[in-house]
Each structure stands twice: as C-alpha cells, then as structure tokens.
Amino acid sequence: MSWREPLPAACWNAEAVFSIIPVEAETPSDSVFNATHSALPILRREKIDRHAGAVVDENVLLDAVNQQPADYPVLPILGRSGAGKSHLVRWLRMNLELKPGTRLVFVPKHRTSLRGILELVLKHAPQARAAELRRRVDAAVDSLGNEQEARLRLRSELATLIETRGAQPGVHSSEEAELRQYLASSLPALLLDPWFRSSLLADNGAIARLVKEKLRGKDETNKEDAFGFTADDVRLSVDDVRHASREAQDIAGALASDDELPRLAADMLNEQLSQAVSAVFGLGGDDLKNLLVELRLELAREGAELLLLIEDFSIFQGIQGGLIDAITLVPSADLAVCPMRVVMAVTTGYFTNHLPDTVKTRTYVAFDLDLPVGTDRQVDAAAFAAPYLNAVRVGAAALEAARRVGDDVPNACVECPVTDRCHSAFGAVDGVGIFPFNRESLVRAIRSKSGVDGGFVARDVLTRVLRPVLHRDREAIAAGDFPTEFFAREFATGAEGLLDIEDEARLERSEDPPSTNERRKRLVRFWGSEGGAQNLAGTIHQAFNVPAVGGLTTERKVAKPPRLRLEDADIVNSEPAPEIPMLVAAVDRWIETGEIQQVVRNELRRIVHALVVERIDFDDGCWGRAPWTDPSRAMPAFPQTAIHLGESPKGAEGRLVGLTIEGGTSRDARALRALAWYSKSGSWRLVPNGAALQRLAYEKLEEWSTSVSQRLLPGRESESPELVAVVYALDAGAQILGVPGAYRDDLVDRVAAIVDMGETGGKGGETWPAFAPLVNSARTGGVAAAADREQLRNRLLRLASFSQGGKPLALDIPRIARALKQAEQFSGIPGDLTEEVERHLAVLAAQLAKLDDFANSAQEALPDLDAIGADIREATAVVNDLLDRAASANLLPSGVSPAVVRQVGREIKDGDIAAVARVRQRLIDWANLSQREKLRVLTMDWHAPASRVLAWSAAADHALTKTEAALVADVGGRLQPELERAGQRLDAALQRACFELDGLLAGDADVLA
C-alpha cells in the first residue's frame, strides 16, 4: 500500500529525468532551463592573481558585462570542469539586453569545428573577405579525405616545425637552450618513425584529439581543458623498441628516463600547434586575427561594437594566439577599430597556465565558481536540488505549456495528498519538497562525489546524484525496496563512520527478513542524524517501507557513541561510554568501507593469531608450536599473515592454513571489533556490552582454532597417502637436481638424497638453460616462493620423525622405506592431500611428462662429433696452422682473430669429447631407459663439455668461412688446397653448430663477437 494513496509511492516519471537533467547546460529547452535555474554563489575577483574577493550572485556578473570598459575587454568566468560555467553563460545569453549597435557572437563548446568558428564570425564580416576564407577552409578540409590523413599531416607538419623552429632563440636559460637544440634535432625522428606511429596516432592521443576537435568540434565526452600535448604524450613505448630506428630509440629512451625533458618536448610541440593547424586546416591564428581586425574596422564605420561570448575558450587552441591579439587590440586614434568585449568561460587551470599575461593584464574582473574553502556563503544543496526535483515531477511538456501562456513554474507539491507530512519529514525549500532525499542524505550523497577538496561541482550533483537516484532507483522506491545495496555502495564515502557494528546490530529486528534489516541500516546511515542507532520520522519509515525498531529513540542526538546500555548484570558502569579506541574506530571503518591500513591489519592479525594459537594443542609428542606458525620451517603453516580480513588468499597463500574473518555486519566482524576493544582496555568490564561481546568473541575463537587445527595438524597413519606423495616428490626432485645418492640402491643413501636440498647435485641441470623448468619444479614446485623443497622436507619430518623439545630428533627410517617402495609405483595424484603438496606434485608431473622434449633439446645441444673427429687436438691444430699461414701471408680478412680461435680451443678439456660421446649414446638408447635413468642422463655433467666444443667449432667455422672468401677473392685460390683439407674436418654440421651456440650460450657468443 502506497504512503501516497491513491497515488504511487514515487511522485515522478523516470523517463522525464533525462530531458530535465542533461549533461550539458545547452541541452534543455528554455522552459526547462528557467524552471531548474538556481543562483550559485560566485567569487568576484578584482585581482586576477589572488583567489579572494566578494561572494556575489549572477546579477552582479550581468552588471559587470554591461559596464565592461573597452580598454579592459576580457571578462573570464572561471571554475573547474562541471562547476556550472556553461549554465552561467546560457543564463547571460538569456538575460543580456543588447544595445542596438552590439553584434553578439556566441561560440558554443560542442560541435564547433574550425569551420564552425569561422562561420560564426563571418556572419558579420565583409562579404568578399568571408567568401575567400570560406573557400580556403573548405578546400583544406575537403582535401584531407578523412581524420587519419589529417593526423598524418599534422604529425608531419609538427615534425617539420620542431626541426626548423623548435630551437629558435628566445628568453631561455643556457641549459634550456641546449635541451631545445637537442630536441629540435632528435624529436622529429621519433615523430616520423614508422614503429612509433601507432602510439603517436592512437585514438586517445593528443594528435587524434586535436584533429577530431578541429574537424568536428568537442562533444559531451571531451574535457574542458585544452587538448594540447602533455609530458605523458611524448613518453612513448612500443612492444619491441628494437624495430625502431636508432635515432628514434635514443630519443625515446631519453624521454622515458628524464622528468624535465618530456615537459619541455610537450611545450615545444604546443608552441608550434598554431602554425601546424593553419597549414593542415587552412585557418590559422593570423587568419583569425586579420578577420577579426577587418570585422572591427567595418563595425567601427557602422558605429557598432562586438561582444564575443565563448562557452569554452579551449576550443580555440591552436589558433588562440590570433584571437588574443585581436582581443587585446584596443581602439585608438591611429586604429579605428570598434570596441570588442569578450566574456569567456574557461577552466581555472587553462586560464592560469595556458593564456599569456597580455590577457590577464587586459582582464576587467574575473568571476570564479570555485569558492575558497571556508567561505561563509556556500552552496545550499537542498536549494540547488529542489528546482530540478520539482521539474522532474512536473515534466517538460507541462513546463513548456506554462511558459507559452506566461504562467509561473508549476509546483507539483501543491496537488500532492501528503504534502504536509512529506515536507515535515523530508524537508522542503520554498514550498518544494526534496523527497526522496532529506537534507542529510542529499549532503552525504553529494559529499561522496566531491573532489579531494570537497568543493561543490554542479555537474556531478546533477549527473552523479540526482539523475541516477531519480531514474535508476525510482522503481525500487515505488516497490518499497529502497535504499538498495547499490545506492549504499555508490555513495558510501559520504556516510562513513556514522554507524558502528553495534549500532547496526541494534537496528535489526528478528521478525524482519535480512533484506529489510539491511535497508533499515542504510536508511539510518544516510537519512538519519549522526547519533547512532535511531528511528527516523515515521513518514520516512512509511515512505520507504522500513518498519521502525521498538525501543529506539527518534530524537536527534549529537554525541556518539551513546551511553553504555547495561544489558548484563555482571557489568556495573554508570559512567558515560568511554572514548572509542583508535583501533576500534579503524575496525569500524573496515566494516563499513572494506578499507584498512596495513599497520591496523597487522595489529589485528597479531591479536587474533595469539588467541587462536593459544587454543591449539601442539604438544603431541612430535613437534612444538613454533614450526607450525612459521612458514619457513614447515608447511602448511599458520603465521599471522595467513589471517585475512575479508580478502581472499593470494599468491602462495595456498601453502598456508588461512583464516578468513568476514567483514560487513557478520558475527566475525563483531567478534573482531570486540577483541580489538578488549586488547586496548585490558578488561571486558571496560568494553561496552562487554559480557555479551565476550561470549561472542570466545565462541568465534573456538570456531577459528578448531578450523585451523583440523587443517594444520596431520595424522601419523603408517599408510598415509600424503607421506608417499611427499617421499615421491622429494625422491624425484633429488634425481632432477642430480643429488648423487638419488641414483644409488643403498637405502641410507636414498633417504639422505631425499632430505638433501639439492646443494650437492650435479651441474648439468643447473647450467643447461633448457633444463631450468624441470629443476625449478623439483626445487620450488613451480611456485615463486623460495625453499618449497625445504617445505616438503619439513613436511616429511613432521610425518615421519621423532622429536624432542620441538626439534626433529631422528627419522623414522622404516616408515620412509615403506613409503619409498610404494612411491616406485606412484601414478596419479591421490586425493586428501594438502593443497601445497598437491600443487607441487602437479607441477612436477607436468615437467616429467616433457622428458622426451628435454631429450630432444639435449640432442640439439650436442656438437656433431662426426664433423670434428675423435681427436679434437688434431682438429684444433689444423685450423690454427691454416689461420697462422694466412696471417703471415697478410691474407687474413678483418674480423678474424687467430688468437681468439686458439684461446677458445685451449678451453677444451681432454675428456670433453668422451663426455659428449657418452651422453649421445645414452640419448640414442633413450626409449629403453627408465624414468630414473633418463633423469640421470639429463643431469650428468655434459653441458659444459658440449658448450666448450661448440664454442670452438663456431669460432673455427666463422674464421674459416671468412678466410675462404678472402682467399678466393684475393689470391685466386693459392692456398685453396690447404683450406679444403681443413674444411673436410669441419663440414656443414659444424656451421650449423654456430647457430645452435648462439641460442644456447649467450656468454660464449659474446666471446666470438
């Protein structure tokens, strides 16, 4: 049943919202604009360099425009984006009473291209001049074809201008002049480099934005600030800079590694924008200046004046220099131009940072919509919102009808059956109700959308507060499902700290469903006073279908928290409630927003961890408490960091026994808050409602400790699948790491290898890059955290060792032997494993499945002994002799060094060929080997011998190839027979080895280079 029977609960049509509350001030009709207009306070700044002055209204602005003298032609309307500048400009247009001789040129900010700006001015220009400029702009724009072509041409024009004009003399320091010289010579290489093209011409880049604005004008998505180059626009990156030219790489690197250089580069690009825009689009700053000067001369002959009303001055970027020159040109005896006044809306930042001092010295007075913090007269949120709320209720059609017949704006509240109750409960401004808001909820919603400084931004209030609530939430209000969870999240930051978790507990009724209890909390948080748990005016509860809570006051309190309620006979405390400790206040903020500082998180973890561990029985005859709370000594472990406040475990947290404490209004959160208060007070008697909260906290601690101990402390059954799995993983890992004992049959050696950390392993797996994934799987289980193998070993000790005083005393060798025998039949990953063991096994199994791939890689990494022969010393002697003879005959080509070849040959050891031959034979028999034998092959110390042989063969091949070419070309083959005999020892397989070496041994390749 609607509280407004027989009318719907919501007194407006959701579809009317967008026609009444648009994004831009120029969008609504005049009737809607007049109906929703409210005067904002404005700061009149007599001194442009000071953010101070008198707070006035729009009528003072109107008087200033009418009284503006000709020698101070500039009147800026300042403010941040969305502050209401466009609204004020429109109000001026509608209220200016122009003199008969005043020619008004209004330049809107949206959909105004260069061609559009020109047309606005040409309406008052001499016909011949107008026709000429139209032809130039039309020809330039039509010749572009499309935006992509315009982007390319603008890029090229900027590159040319930077190179030719970027370093021109000016008022620069010697250091800046030097940097400008460097950028003028280097920046064009970056601008024109094909590899950086996609970054420079990206849709969200400065060049694309400028082209779009000049061809089509700004749209509603564009910011009011200038679309110039910024430092970030010239800090370019691409996927692979090596494909760019050397010059582009150098300047890109310099820009990426310096803070000042990108800013200077952006300034230099912006300095050339005007000339570049003129060249590409056919209209430049000088053209606009000349046009305006000619127009002013013509209007002077007619005895007229020119008033330029600009909604957003930044749309003149690229041609603003000419406009500024024309603006600051004042009439004189020698120059009979007409008076020209300019009223411009411009963001404060653009006016301060991008306009020259000549504009500021010609400024009559500035009107600023950004009031200084602490100004007495601030915006009344309810007074601002009320006209919009009324207009939405009335509708655009009814507003237009009233305007046509000259009636006042209708007030929808006049016909409402609950006007008195509604206005009394929710509030009203000049007879217009502000339902569904009241003043508190409106201020809090606006506060959540305010910037860092908390300033009032009209556009944000309209589009981020009023419009979404009136449109999106209208159905929920009508259905009695408001305030919604989405509403509370959307505006959460504006109502932080108004209810704590105990307040929320008092706002629950057992007879209500959870959804109703949650809506009641949201209602009190946003619509209530700052007095904690309370009932609101009955009409508010009725309007939103939220029953009040019996026993709660409806009086508005100003102090928080309330006095202590004596709910338990064993707590006697008639004093006012103690001040909330900072830790408890931090918990309240976390409960409300989900945000928590790390120092607070750590303190709460410490408190909970100590109390949970205290309740777990670690004294089971095997180990003590310390190893199971330290993840570096055992796994799984339960350290303080395994306690999660609302968040999900991340990264390697699966290796830990986690404890998640839920946030929001859960019993977890209430218990955590109680423990925080107890930790600071030292006694439950000093905690408000201490007896009840003590019971709750102890119940949760028992629940948490049971959960942790069940997952933390494993059983010690002799047939434990986990023990077999751990032994298998450690045994296979020892083999992969090349631990010698892992390949012996002696049981003691095998067990010693199992608990070895791999520090005594062979070198093959360590130094062969292709084998690294398998080594990593054995050592870390594929997890980034170090010492996973040590964790597995500690797990083994926990499962199969005897201890005293919390330290392992002896291994249970029989149990490990049985597990080792069962591990030989290991296949697949059994269930009921701890997560970290299961993951380690999965990664290990995946790598072991690739043994054939590793074998193929090893085969490719071996040198072809058939091309070298069994006697490596003979082969090196033949090559050295040939190179020495070529050198003595002065026939050795550049880039060939006999000394390098000889040095690489000396590195080869006598057993290298035999080592390579043994591995090659085992690889030939690969299919007949067991997994253990295969791992032994891969971990043998063969890679270093193979690398030394490959290094020499590559060096020899390189030297012989270049020497052969030199001999054929220079001496007609005089030493060709000797070369051929050496070549017989180094066939095509040796040449291929050169390329193999390049990929396998970067270090050896560097020696060759």
User: Is the distance from CB of 34 to CB of 406 less than 8 angstroms?
Assistant: no
* CA separation for the pair 8, 99 (Å, rounded): 51
Say if residue 680's pLDDT is above 80: yes
CB atoms within 10 A of CB 168: 10
Say if CB 24 and CB 12 are below 8 A apart. Answer: no
234 Cβ contact partners less than 8 Å away, ≥ 6 residues apart: 187, 190, 255, 262, 265, 266, 269
> Is 662 exposed, middle or buried, given 0-12, 13-18 or 19+ CB atoms closer than 10 A?
middle
Q: What is the pLDDT of residues 321-339, one digit of tens each?
A: 778 888 888 888 788 889 9
From 779, 793, 773, select the one nearest 846 (Cα to Cα). Answer: 773
Tokens of 197: 């093209």
pLDDT at 208: 78
Choice between 776 and 717, residue whose per-residue pLDDT is larger: 776
pTM of this structure: 0.57
783's enclosing H/E stretch is none
- Predicted local distance difference test score (pLDDT) of residue 115: 67
Q: 416, 7 in Cβ contact below 8 A?
A: yes
Among 197-211, 600-614, 713-727, which stretch is predicted with the lowest mean pLDDT? Answer: 713-727
- Write the CA distances from 208 to 161, 199, 219, 265, 638, integer angstroms: 18, 11, 14, 18, 55
Of 156 and 113, the structure prediction assigns the larger pLDDT to 156
Tokens of 751: 């067990």
Residues in a beta bridge with 102: 305
**pLDDT (tens digit, 9 = 90+) per residue, 23-61?**
665 678 899 999 999 888 999 998 887 778 899 999 999
How far is 185 from 180, CA to CA, in rounded Å? 9
Contacts 24+ apart (CB under 8 A), 59-62: 61/88, 61/92, 61/367, 62/92, 62/95, 62/96
**pLDDT per residue as tens digits for the range 268-318:** 888 887 778 777 776 666 777 887 888 888 889 889 999 999 888 877 766
Per-residue model confidence (pLDDT) at position 938: 82
Averaged over 618-630, what is the pLDDT?
49
CA atoms within 13 A on the CB side of 601: 17
What integer pLDDT is reported at residue 209 of this predicted model? 76
Say if residue 508 is exposed, middle or buried (CB neighbours under 10 Å; 0-12, 13-18, 19+): middle
Helices (H), 194-347: 197-200, 206-216, 231-234, 246-256, 260-271, 273-281, 285-302, 320-327
pLDDT for 326 equals: 83
Number of residues that make up the chain: 1009
Per residue in 881-920, pLDDT tens? 888 888 887 878 887 888 888 888 888 888 888 888 888 8
How much of the chain is in helix, strand and coil states, percent to nearest 5?
Answer: 60, 5, 35
What gap in Å lies between CA 346 and CA 48, rounded to an integer? 14
The answer on pLDDT for 389 being more than 60 is: yes
Position 478 confidence tier, pLDDT thresholds 50, 70, 90: very high
> Which has the higher per-residue pLDDT, 404 or 935?
404
% pLDDT > 70, the chain: 78
DSSP state of 450: S
Q: Give residue 915's pLDDT.
A: 84
Q: Quote the CA–CA distance of 624 and 808 in Å, as a whole number.
A: 10
Residue 17 banded pLDDT, cuts 50, 70, 90 = very high
Query: Which structure tokens are listed for 328?
Result: 């600051």
If one compares 815 and 545, the residue with the highest pLDDT of the two is 545
For the chain, the first-to-last Cα distance in angstroms comes to 88
User: Model confidence at 982, in pLDDT bands (50, 70, 90)?
Assistant: low
217 — pLDDT class (breaks 50, 70, 90): low
427: pLDDT strictly greater than 90: yes
**Arithmetic mean of pLDDT, 623-627:** 49
Supply the DSSP symbol for 465.
Answer: I
Structure-model confidence comparison of residues 323 and 62, the more confident one: 62
- DSSP string of 351-404, one letter each residue: HHHHS-HHHHHTB--EEESSPPTT-SS---HHHHHHHHHHHHHH-HHHHHHHHH
Q: What is the pLDDT of residue 557?
A: 37
Chain centroid to Cα 495, Å, comes to 26
Which pLDDT value is given to residue 988? 44
Which pLDDT belongs to residue 416? Answer: 93
- Asked if pLDDT for residue 940 goes beyond 50, the answer is yes
Distance from C-alpha of 941 to C-alpha of 619, rounded to nearest angstrom: 46
- Tens-place pLDDT, residues 564-620: 222 333 333 334 445 788 898 888 888 878 888 889 999 999 999 888 888 776 544
Question: Structure tokens of 415?
Answer: 């016909």
pLDDT greater at residue 875 or residue 431: 431
